Structure formats: structure tokens, C-alpha cells
Amino acid sequence: MRLPNWVFVVGLLGASTLTSFSAQAEQAGGVLNGNTTGNNELLTWARSQVSKARGMLVVQQLDNGAIIASPSTRDPDYYYHWTRDAALVMTAQLTDLLASTPRGSAEPLLGRIGKYLSFSEQTQESPNRSGGTEGWYNLGEPKFYVDGRGFDGDWGRPQSDGPALRAILILKVLEQAEIDQEFSQLISRLGMRPTMDTVLRRDLEYVAMRWRESSFDLWEEVRGAHFYNRLVQYRALAKGQAYFRTAEGRSLSTAYGDGARAIAQTLERHWSPERGYLLTTLDRDGGVDYKAANLDAAIVLAALHAADSKDAFFGPSDDKVLATATKLADTFAALYPINRNTRDPSGQEMLPGIGRYPEDRYDGVGFSGGHPWFITTLALAELNYRVASELEKSSKWILNEKHLAFFARHAPRSMAALSKGATVSGQSAIAKKLASELRAHGDQYLARVRYHTARDGAMSEQFNRYDGFMRGARDLTWSYAALLTAVAARH
């Protein structure tokens, strides 16, 4: 269905009045202190939005440690603790803290992580509709009532990504504690170690035992083998292997290493040379059957959520990930009418709002058709920022046609100096030029997000593909988390 053009135009005017261009010059604890060249007005907005997001993530955690996906209790009812959302939300706060200079005290965040892990430990101990505690089938439950009981209704279950994401978070905290006195002292003083250890061991055991089994995807719709789930499972086990490489845990370490290697092989199968992008699902055996393109922003989310500075495997700069991101940007630019508007009222250029996948029907409440989402649009911003930094840090980067296609879209002015097979080294002038152009393009995704965000900084789940107004669950906790990690990557 396409609305007449005047609806589109009126809608755009409406959306622009929602946006604040007079953002307060609020301090945001030092983020964005590095590369502040570029659009100062946009960066000022980003700073105030970071403060908003930090505040929302704090209030959307309940006293018992549960994290609500949104305060919305009907149309849609998102007043639940999702294993996936919660792990991502806590990880985003850690990323934000570690990226801030000067860094604030870690105590409030570690306190929140401690409560979240106590709540998680409790959810791990009861059977639910995903299964019993024997063999940890119950860890595949995606959604919990805020009192910790597994959701009773029908749902797309099991979902195997949540425990892996939680394990990654715990391992990141433990890694930080190894190099950071404040972290290690606080963890001891707050008495967090036993809970961290218990939750981590269960999560890794679940991943190591069950990763081969069919699961619903992160959008809770398709059952099969998913790139997203497998990549975060790979990362959890690879990190687990490194962490348990001590006398006490040597056999665990070996088992996790074997698991990670086996998962890595299955991930390679997702590349389609014919289509030129990574397929999101293989071996579908249930759930929705209309994802003909098998193209999904989940690939970019996977690269971001599983990123590790010491291991580039399917990381943000991977050529196949970049090829998929290029395809996503082109597809959604053409698909959503709102993306025809490429400048906001201040004249700032905007890149397209990105949806979950082109055939999406979920409108945030019912099934009238898909829309762009904040988390996926912010993922493209973050990807550009991360590629820029990795490029500057790399010793050498040999360009192939997949990189070039990504740069053609996201750094067109640098293209003349680039050719297939050329080597770009991090300190060269062309690397710097490319990096700054990529950052500018990341900013254009951020500008897209600003355009559809409410004046008070509120961010829901989606924004309308025709008129740009927000829709779906209000104050989606994950949207704020995605804003924090995107901005943290802009250094």
C-alpha cells in the first residue's frame, strides 16, 4: 500500500516539528571528545541524547534487577524481561562507561550488573516452557515476567542467543577486572564473584551443548540456524576458552575451543556468492516463510555484538559483513518512502532509515507492514564509526571489491584514490581521508535518528516508513542502548 504524496509531505513536516534543533549543551561525561570535527549541532544533540539514554537505562531496571523491554503494557505489551534485550542493555552501559574520558565511577554500573545477574541466576533455576533445568533447556526461554517466572503464553521458543550474549557480558566484566583495579576491587566488595561464576558456567554449558539445535531468531519469528545466534555463540565460547585457560578449567577451555571452531565452520556457509551477501538463516524448519531475500540487518547486529578487538572473525570490518551492509542500505533506501527525504530541515544530509529485513510485516503492534527501526539504523551508524577506527589502526588493509562497494556508498569522495588490490595502511593520508568520510556517513545515520526522535529524546521501537512518526513500543530500552554504543564508537 502506498499513501498519496500529500500525506507523505504533510507527514514530513509533522515529523520535523518533533525534532529539537536547539539541544542543550549538556555534559555527557566525555564521550565525543575525540573526533569532534564535523557537525557541531548534531554532536551537541548526540551528547544530550546520551544523557537521556543513560537515564532511561537506569530507570528501566526494576529493583529486583529485571530490565523491562519497554514500559508499554498494551499495544504492544513489552513489560517483560527479555534475556537478549537485557544482556545487550547491560553491555551497552559497560561499553559507554569504558569509552568515556574521564571515566566516571564504575560502582553504580557494577551494582546494576550485580542485581541483573542475581535476577538472571533466579531465572536459570526454574523450568519453563522452553524446558527443564536438566540439560539447561530452560535457558532457551526468551521472555520472563518481571518477577522472574518464564512467560506462560505461546511464543517463538527456544531462542538460543540470550545466554551467549549474557556470557559475553560477564566475560567482558571479568576481562576488565584483570586489567583494572577499580573493577576487581568493586567486584569483590559488592560480592559479585559467586553469581558471575554460576551464571557464566551455566550459560556457556548451555551454548556448548545446544548450539547445533534449531532455534528461533532474534526477531522471534523464524526457526532454523541463524548467523546472529551462531556468531554470538562463537564469541561466547571463544572468550570462555581464553578465560578458563587455567589449571582448574583446562578441560572446559578445550571443550569451548572445540565448540568455537565447529561453530566457525558453520558460519562460513552463510555466504552466498550468487547474491553477494550473508544469508541470515539456513535450514529453516519452522516459523515465518516469507523472507525470500534472506537478507537481514541481524547480520550487522551480529558483527557489532560479537566484535572483539583481538579477533576479526566476522567483525565490523569483515568484507562479507560490509557487502551485506551495502545491500541493506541500498534495499531500504529504495523500499521506505520516508527515505526519499535525504535532508533534515537544517540542511543536514541523512542516510536511509534501516528496517529489520525487506519482507517484514510487523508494524510494532500488528502486521500491516514493516518500518525502519532505531536499533538497526543506529547499527549502520556504529558500523561506519567502527570501520573508520579499525582502518586507522590497521597496519595494512588489502582492498577487494566488497570493501570498494561499501566505500562507494559510504565514502564516495575517497573512491578515486582506491582500486581493487590496493593496500591501505592505517597511517596513510588516504586512510585518514576514508576514516573521516566514514565518520561523516555514520553521522548521517545519526542525523536520520535525530530526525525521527521526539523533542524530549524519547525513542520508541520503530518510525513510520511513510510519515516518519515513531511507532511500536514506546521508550524501547534497546533503542537507548543502541544509541549509547553507536556514540561510544565515534572516537
Residues binding ligand NOJ (CB under 6 A): 69, 78, 82, 84-85, 218-221, 362, 478
| Residue nearest ligand NOJ (C-beta atom) | 362
Distance CA 431, CA 307 (A): 21
- Classify residue 278 as left (phi > 0), alpha (psi -120 to 50) or beta: beta
Q: Which of 175, 182, 220, 319 is catalytic?
A: 220
CB 396 within 8 A of CB 364: no
**Cα angle, residue 93 at apex, residues 479 and 166 outer, rounded to 5°:** 90
Closer of 80 and 244 to ligand NOJ (Cβ): 80
Tell me if residue 360 is catalytic: no
CB of 220 to ligand NOJ, least distance (A): 4
Distance CA 264, CA 352 (A): 32
Distance CA 459, CA 167 (A): 28
CB of 462 to ligand NOJ, least distance (A): 10
CB of 404 to ligand NOJ, least distance (A): 32
CB of 444 to ligand NOJ, least distance (A): 25
**Based on C-alpha coordinates, what's the Rg of the chain?**
21
Distance CA 94, CA 271 (A): 32
CB of 70 to ligand NOJ, least distance (A): 7
CB atoms within 10 A of CB 361: 12
Closer of 235 and 305 to ligand NOJ (Cβ): 305
CB atoms within 10 A of CB 259: 23
CB 331 within 8 A of CB 358: yes
Closer of 82 and 256 to ligand NOJ (Cβ): 82
Tell me if residue 258 is catalytic: no
CB of 132 to ligand NOJ, least distance (A): 23
Give the 3-state secondary structure percentages of the chain, helix then strand then coil, rounded to 5: 55, 10, 40
Mapping DSSP to helix (H, G, I), strand (E, B) and coil, where does residue 218 land? coil
Burial 137-149 (b: 16+ CB within 10 A, else e): bbbbbbbbeeebe
CB of 373 to ligand NOJ, least distance (A): 9
The number of angstroms, rounded, from the C-alpha of 374 to the middle of its chain's C-alpha atoms is: 10
Closer of 182 and 220 to ligand NOJ (Cβ): 220
Q: Which of 205, 217, 392, 467 is catalytic?
A: 217
CB atoms within 10 A of CB 268: 10
The torsion angles phi and psi of 13, rounded to 5 degrees, stand at: -60, -45
Closer of 225 and 388 to ligand NOJ (Cβ): 225
The torsion angles phi and psi of 23, rounded to 5 degrees, stand at: -60, 145
Closer of 85 and 344 to ligand NOJ (Cβ): 85
CB of 391 to ligand NOJ, least distance (A): 30
Distance CA 80, CA 73 (A): 9
- From the list 348, 336, 333, 375, the residue with the least C-alpha distance to 441 is 348
The number of angstroms, rounded, from the C-alpha of 491 to the middle of its chain's C-alpha atoms is: 18
Closer of 227 and 397 to ligand NOJ (Cβ): 227
Distance CA 359, CA 352 (A): 17
Closer of 85 and 443 to ligand NOJ (Cβ): 85
Question: Residue 133 has which C-alpha cell?
Answer: 533445568
Which residues are catalytically annotated?
Answer: 217, 220
